[in-house]
Amino acid sequence: MLHKTLLVYRRNLTFILRLIDRLKFDLLHNICLCYLSCSISWLLTIRKASSRPNNQVTHNNAKSSRGCHGFTLVELLVTVSVLAIIATIAAPALQTQLAGMEAKRVESQLRGSLTRAKAESYIRRQNVLLCLSNDGGRCHRDSDKTLLLFIDNNNNNHFDNTVDQLIIQQSLNLRYSKLSLRVGSRRHYTKFWGDSGKPRGHFGHIKYCPTVTYNKSKYLISFNQTGIIKQKLDENHPTQCDS
C-alpha cells in the first residue's frame, strides 16, 4: 500500500516540478526539489519502520498490523498546504502562459483565414468576404465570437445562411483578448475580389488587444492592396489598444 502511495506521490510531484521548470521558476524549482526529497525520505522511513518485526505485539495485534498504514491528519494537512502554496505562486505564470498560447492560436487562425480568402476568391473567380461576427451571424467591426468567410450572393455585406455560400466558420473562443477589424470607410468586412484574389479598396488590418493584465500580446494582422498578409507587433507598429 505504501509502495503504491509512494509511486503516486512521486508521480504527482514530478508533474509539478516539470510545470514549474517549464515556467522557469528557479526558486520554486528548488523549493519543490527540497520538498520532494524530504517527502520521499519521510515515506521511505515509514515504509521501513512498518516492515520491521515487532516482538512485543500479540498474535492478534500482529494480524491487525498487516492492514493499511495511512497518513495522519497533520501529515495530510501539511502536504496539502505545501502543494496549495506552490500552486498559488505558480498560478500567475500559468495564466500568462495560457494567454500567450491564445495569442499564437488566434494569429494562426487569422493568417490562415485571410490566406484562404485570397486563394478561394481567385480559384472560384468570385468575390469572397471575411468578417468578424456575433453568435447570430451578423458581421460587425468589433465582434469577437466567430470568424466568417463566405460568398455574398445577395450582396448585402452580411452572411445569410439561406442565401450565401459559407466557406469557413471558426469559433474564436477568446478569454484573454478582443479583436477588431479595421478597413477603410469604416467597413465591417473585407472583400477579396474574384478577378485578382486581392482586397483592393478593402485593405486594412485585424487588431488583437489584451483584456487582462497578464496578457502581454498586442499585434496587427494586416493585409494590403496586393493581399500580402503580415503580423505587425505593437513595438514596431503601435496597436493603440489602450485608446
DSSP secondary structure string, 177-237?
EEEEEEEGGGBSSEEE-TTTS--TT--EEEEEEESSTT----EEEEE-TT--EEEEETTTS
Does the global pTM surpass 0.75?
Answer: no
C-beta of residue 88 within 8 angstroms of C-beta of residue 163: no
Residue 189 has pLDDT above 50, yes or no: yes
Max Cα-Cα span within the chain: 96
C-alpha distances out from residue 122 to 5, 24, 91, 184, 241, Å: 62, 47, 47, 22, 33
- Cα(167)–Cα(148) distance, rounded to whole angstroms? 8
The DSSP 8-state label assigned to residue 243 in this structure reads -
Domain assignments of the chain as residue spans, ordered by start: 103-233
The pLDDT score that the predictor gives to residue 11 is 60
Q: Which cell numbers in the block locate residue 134?
A: 456575433
Report domain 103-233's class.
alpha beta
The pLDDT score that the predictor gives to residue 135 is 72
pLDDT band at 170 (very low <50, low <70, confident <90, very high): very high
Q: Residue 98 is which amino acid? A: L
pLDDT band at 242 (very low <50, low <70, confident <90, very high): confident
3 state SS of 139: strand
Could you report the per-residue pLDDT of 44-100, keeping only the tens digit for each?
A: 555 555 555 555 444 455 444 444 555 677 667 777 777 777 777 767 788 898 999
